[in-house]
Amino acid sequence: MPISPPELLPPDLMSQLERLELVTRKVFRGRMKGERRSKRKGESVEFADYRNYTPGDDLRRLDWNLYARLDKLILKLFLEEEDLHFYTLIDASPSMAFGDPTKLEYAKRLAAALGFVGLVKSDRVVIETLGQGLRERSPVLRGRKSVWRMLDQLSAIEPNQEGSLVEGVKRFCLRNAGKGVVVLISDLMDKQGYEPALKYLMAQRVDVYLIHVLSQEEIDPDVAGDLRLVDCEDQDIAEITVSAPLLSRYKQTLAAFTAGAQEFCAKRGMAYLLANNQMPVNELMTNYMRRRGLVR
């Protein structure tokens, strides 16, 4: 059964998230006045600095008191408030149905927490999945009044979407060509690899965060004996005998895979975070995501 809205965002979690805000490592020009302070100098009410007048400047920003004292034309500069366009892109492929809670359920809880922080601060929040068609645009949500609409949208997502990681990211980039922050939540389990998909995001004018979600069963499998494995996405079959040496090689391969993804992201200015589905969402938000710079 789909996870219900109250389960996605419990009241005690909301109270902890109220104090947070989404941040970006890049400076983007917002379309509307929001609640965050921009690094751009603008015309809001919070004073930032002075500079000398140059021909063509707005005369209304001249400080006439300083002119009377110094006989020089000086402009007042202010910190402008701007909003942020925040995208969460969720992998809803069949492999995300694994685990307890499933990786998709955990991804939806993360998306709900991040979206709530954005909505409370009047950011523009968009939640999409990798399986959406080129013309299937998701609504742009804004303001606290949109929280339940966001939760209903997340609750309806099922792990049955087809298509590769790179195809899904490519369609997302074609649908959304604007600036902002993109958080991709995925297990990266795609036989075509994750690199082409991340390169598409890198080519956009966005601040990219990758949250790599794995289940505890994948990180530390508790299996033994003869097994018949069926790939949930393409139905490929493999018969194996699980032994201690095989489990050891599996863990080494998984460690190399996650380290490779982290290095790939670091070299390209993308933030990488490995998330275990057993880690409480509030801990991930208030601790690990703070350290990665996505919230403060």
Kindly list the domain boundaries of the chain, sorted by start residue. Answer: 5-26+84-292, 46-79
Residue ranges of alpha helices (H) inside the chain are 5-8, 11-17, 64-70, 103-120, 147-155, 165-175, 195-202, 216-219, 244-267, 281-283, 289-292
Q: How high is the pLDDT of residue 72?
A: 85
Which residues 6+ apart lie within 8 Å of 204 measured at CB? 173, 177, 182
CA angle 210, 258, 219 (to 5 degrees): 110
- Is there a contact between 273 and 212 (Cβ–Cβ < 8 Å)? yes
Per-residue pLDDT of the chain (296 residues; tens, 9 = 90+): 567 777 899 999 999 999 888 888 775 544 444 445 554 444 445 555 677 877 767 777 788 888 788 888 887 765 444 557 899 999 999 999 999 999 999 999 999 999 999 999 888 999 999 999 988 989 999 999 999 999 999 999 999 998 899 999 999 999 987 788 999 999 999 989 999 999 999 998 889 999 999 999 999 988 777 677 667 777 777 777 778 888 899 899 999 999 999 999 999 999 999 999 999 999 999 898 888 888 88
* Distance separating alpha carbons of residues 232 and 235, to the nearest angstrom: 6
Q: Quick one: tokens of 169?
A: 């990211």
Residue 275: which of 117, 99, 51 has the closest Cα? 99
> What pTM does this model have?
0.81
Please tell me the CATH code under which domain 5-26+84-292 is placed: 3.40.50.410
Q: Which tens digits make up the pLDDT trace of 242-269?
A: 788 888 998 999 999 999 999 999 999 9
Give me the amino acid identity at 290: R
